[in-house]
Every structure is written in C-alpha cells, then in structure tokens.
Amino acid sequence: MTCDVTPWPAHGGQAAPLLARYGLPPDHPVTDFSANLNPLGPPVWVPARLAAAAEGLSRYPAPDYRAAREAIAREAGVAAEQVLLTNGGAEAIFLVAAAHAGGRAVIVQPTFTEYARACRAFGIAVDDLSLAPPDFSLDPERLGASLAPDTLLFLCRPNNPTGTLVPRETVQRLLTQAAMHDCRVVVDEAFIDFVTSPEESLAPLLARFDNLILLRSLTKLYALPGLRLGYLLASESLVRQLQVGQPPWSVNHLAAELVAPLLADSAFLARTRQWLADEQPRLQAGLAGAGLEVIPSRANFFLVRPAMEPESMTGQSLKPMTQEPGTGRRGGHSGALFERLLRFGILARHTHGFPGLDGGWLRLALRDRDANARLLAALDEGGVR
C-alpha cells in the first residue's frame, strides 16, 4: 500500500519518510543503499582526533583556515590562494550561484539536484542539457552550441546519479569553447576520489583555464556527511570573488582540523580503492544477472532499472502496486522494485526529482561485500530474476 501524502525526500539516507510512505514501522530494519558514502569510513582515528581538537572549540577558527588550505593546495598542486574551504560541497555550489545571481546557467542533466535549487535561489535562468540512456554520454559539440556569453555551466564528474565520467579531454575542449564566450565551467568532483585513474584529475587544468571552478567534497570518501566539509579550487581572483558571499567562520573548527590528517591518510585511500576494485565489477555483474539494466559506473554507486518489460518478468510481485505519475510502464516497475526492496530491508535511492529519470530508475550505492550480497539476495527473493 502506498501513501501519497508523504513526499519523496530530496536526498538519500532518509529512511523514515520512505518507511512511512509504504506503511512500514519506523523501526523496520534497513540497510542504506541510498546514500553514496564509503562503507570503510570514517577512518578509525577520527573520533580520537576530534576529541583532541575539542579544546579549540572555545576559540573562533582562524578566519583564513590557512593550515587546511595549504594541505589541500599541496594535494591538488595549486597555490593556497586558489583554495576556498567550504561547509560541504553544498556550500560551494551556493557560493558559485550567489556570485552569478540573475545570470544564466546550463545544467547537464540528469544530475545532482542542488545546482538547480541554487540557481533558483539566486534568480539564475537555467537551460537543461539532457543526456539520455543507454550511456548518458555527453556530446561536446551540442553542449558548446548551448553556451551563450556569460553562461555558467554545471557539470558533475563522475556524475551523480549516473556514475558516468566525462573524459578529461572533453572537459578541456569545453573549457576552451567556454572561454571564447566568457563562460565559467563548474565541475563538481564530489566523487572524484573514487575514480582510480589519476590522469582524470582536472586540477592541473586550473593552471591553464581561469574559467574553471572545481568543487570537491570530503564527506563522501571519508563518510563524514555530518561534519560538513568541502572546498573549491579556482583562480586566485575567482576565489576572492566567490568568498565574498561566504559567512565568516563558515567551516567549524573540528572540520577544519581534520583536513590535513584526512588528506595525509593515504592508506585509507588505498584500502578504499582496493574495496572498489573488488566490489564494483562483482556488484555490477550481480545486478545485471538479477535482471537489471546497469549503467557502467566510475563511482561508488550504480544507476539501474528493470531491464525487461513487466509482462516478460517472472512473478506477480513485480507489478507496480501504484503507477507513479509520469514514469511510464518501466518507471512504475522501478517503483514496485523500490517498494519490494524496502520491504526486504534494502533502502534504494529513488530518482523522483532528477529531470529525465523521474522515478524510472533507482540508484544503489556500493557497500561492503556482506551488504552487497544481501542486496543481491533481496533482488533474488523479490522475484526479479
């Protein structure tokens, strides 16, 4: 039974409203596949480090966060003046929008919904450039043609929720085209640490393109979304311009203190990459084997939908209990799968609110081997095969 009064939550990691939506009790046990957080994190030393840093809570943080910015600058190979520490990647998105209030933007869709929300908040007129299945690939010519003078372009790589990665050479071409139109290109790399090929990093392009703004998040890799920690990289003058809209002491002392030790923990990064290299192909094969269309991902999550039309599936259980408006037959089918998984204790990320996906797909985070096996077992028991 569905309950249409409970709205779809705007982000992952929110079991309560979804349990309510399907009439399940608040203590219904769920494994969360809806938030894209590293299951290996946070690093074990984090609580002790936070406890040690607590004595600094009685002072204001140093307003320029020099030590944290220098650590990021060393890591990215840029000057500390090119780094702005932010209250999560989310604040960085809103600072960029604030600096372009009243302007025009192009958002490459489907993607993280906060770019559109930030644009709305600052009166920015938005055109969507929609990518389509089966590969959601970006045609740089088409995108280049959509760039009117002074447009802000939002691109996410690897992209949430598709997991696709626009190649570095393509971004480079876009930056050249964008520079000719005085356009700035915002590339959100919140999930870039999960991409194992270092040649994909865009940070070296900052030396050549002063219209590039790179957004980063420390909350995904280190599984610290409650801490609120991110940063942006851009030219020195652009950083100064973006900083104008930032409230003083926006990043709290505990978060700022963690930056250098987090970035120095190369063993944690190596373990994460090993986990990803092991689990990504295994889960992709398992999901495909369970009858799902899986978009090949360069990140720590997969976008999926039932590969077959409902009548060709085995088992009555996959018939949608309620057809979601605007989602078509396969969309309704994904809705039914979402519900069945939830009843089996698996919380997927719905895709209502992502333009072009509109609930017809589900996003599943990669978790540790046991949890991934539970997901595949639930798909099996749920009659997907």
Ligand X SMILES: Cc1ncc(COP(=O)(O)O)c(C=O)c1O
Is there a contact between 20 and 7 (Cβ–Cβ < 8 Å)? Answer: no
From 46, 73, 90, 165, residue interacting with ligand X (rule: CB under 6 A) = 90
373: Cβ contacts below 8 Å, ≥ 6 apart: none
Q: Measured between alpha carbons, how far is 133 from 126 in angstroms, rounded to an integer? A: 22
Is there a contact between 185 and 214 (Cβ–Cβ < 8 Å)? Answer: no
Shortest reach from residue 194's CB to ligand X, in Å: 12
Q: Is 188 in the site for ligand X (CB under 6 A)?
A: yes
Q: Is 219 in the site for ligand X (CB under 6 A)?
A: yes
Structure tokens that stand for 369 in this block: 């081997």
Q: Is 88 in the site for ligand X (CB under 6 A)?
A: yes
Alpha helices in the chain (DSSP H): 15-21, 46-53, 66-76, 88-99, 114-121, 140-145, 168-180, 236-243, 253-264, 266-289, 328-343, 369-381
- Where on the phi/psi map is residue 13: left (φ > 0), alpha (ψ -120 to 50), or beta? left
Q: Measured between alpha carbons, how far is 226 from 235 in angstroms, rounded to an integer? A: 29
> Of the listed pieces 24-32, 84-92, 292-300, 363-371, which binds ligand X according to CB under 6 A?
84-92
Shortest reach from residue 200's CB to ligand X, in Å: 16
Burial environment of residue 201 by CB neighbours within 10 A (0 to 12, 13 to 18, 19 or more):
middle
Q: Is 9 in the site for ligand X (CB under 6 A)?
A: no
Shortest reach from residue 382's CB to ligand X, in Å: 27
Residues of span 267-306 touching ligand X by CB under 6 A: none
Give the CA-trace dihedral at 109, 112, 117, 118, to 10 degrees: -100
Q: Decide whether 149 or 226 has the Cβ nearer to ligand X.
A: 226
Q: Is 156 in the site for ligand X (CB under 6 A)?
A: yes
Q: How many chain residues are in contact with ligand X, going by CB under 6 A?
A: 12
Shortest reach from residue 269's CB to ligand X, in Å: 17
Residue number of the CB atom closest to ligand X: 88
Shortest reach from residue 203's CB to ligand X, in Å: 17
The sheet with strand 349-350 has its strands ordered as 292-294, 301-306, 362-365, 349-350
Q: Decide whether 299 or 378 has the Cβ nearer to ligand X.
A: 299
Shortest reach from residue 201's CB to ligand X, in Å: 16
Q: Is 250 in the site for ligand X (CB under 6 A)?
A: no
> Of the listed pieces 69-77, 85-93, 331-339, 342-350, which binds ligand X according to CB under 6 A?
85-93
Residue ranges in contact with ligand X by CB under 6 A: 88-90, 112, 156, 160, 188, 190, 217, 219, 225, 230
